[in-house]
Amino acid sequence: MVFWLEVDAGSHIARHSHPNEQITWLLEGRLDIQMGDDPARSCGSGSVLLIPGSTPHEAWYREKCRIVEFFSPPRLDLFPAAAGNPYGLLEA
């Protein structure tokens, strides 16, 4: 599952986890991220982050960010209606 999004400066994603592996590609902007028990680190344009499944993480967006996020397997918790049809296949 792939998302393209813009996040406003000053936004905060509270500490959470999910069973899905996450790859975040920061196209533009700057954010700080804290994963697991590691200290927070600052990331800028061009950074690629790998967040293993079930790893607690939290993010602070220091500048407006354009990002692409990849999730495997798909995040059905974000689209519960897709749970019965996770690949968007049309029924005959």
Query: How confident is the model over 2-33, as pLDDT tens digits?
Result: 999 999 999 999 999 999 999 999 999 999 99
Angstrom distance (rounded) from CA 51 to CA 20: 9
Residues with Cβ < 8 Å from 1, sequence gap 6 or more? 70, 71, 72, 73, 74, 75
Report residue 19: phi and psi, to 5°: -70, -10
Query: How confident is the model over 35-77, as pLDDT tens digits?
Result: 999 999 999 999 999 999 999 999 999 999 999 999 999 888 8
Mean pLDDT of the chain: 91
For the entire predicted model, the pTM comes to: 0.85
Predicted local distance difference test score (pLDDT) of residue 91: 57
Complete domains list, the chain, with CATH: 2-70 (2.60.120.10)
Predicted local distance difference test score (pLDDT) of residue 88: 58
